Amino acid sequence: MKIKKGDNVIILSGKDKGKDGKVLQVMPRVERVVVEKLNIRKRHTRPRREGEKGQIIELEAPMHISNVMVVCAKCNKPTRVGSKIHEGGKSRVCKRCEAVI
């Protein structure tokens, strides 16, 4: 997977198209990511104890990884991610400006 936790990404499709945020969680088996404050869903919860009230909780729902694209820190544009092998190991690079992500 080319998207990692902590990356800044932009949303390519859906109701939050064009917005950007930070990746909170990556789920490689199901190819989904959770982005901070985007793709918000409302969850209605029942009261668990007597005297407690039910509530509506807003939480970030996972979205498919194909709907997000990494934003390069150097050129501030959405970009594809490549990899380069060097003597210190392997690193992810921006396909536009060749900067290390």
d(CA 3, CA 22): 11
Look up tokens 């400006």; give the residue: 97
Q: What's the CATH number where 34 sits?
A: 2.30.30.30
Residues 23, 59 share a domain: yes
Its pTM stands at 0.86
Share of the chain above pLDDT 90, in %: 95
Residue at 2 is within a domain: no
The whole-number pLDDT of residue 88 equals: 86
The whole-number pLDDT of residue 50 equals: 93
Q: Is the predicted pLDDT of residue 101 greater than 90, yes or no? A: no
Contact 38, 16 (CB under 8 A): yes
- Mean pLDDT, the chain, integer: 95
Range of the structural domain that residue 18 is part of = 8-70
d(CA 92, CA 99): 9
Which residues are bridge partners to 31 per DSSP? none
Q: What is the pLDDT of residues 39-62, one digit of tens each?
A: 999 999 999 999 999 999 999 999
Residue 66 has phi, psi (to 5 degrees) of -75, -15
Look up tokens 């190819």; give the residue: 31
Residues 47, 27 share a domain: yes
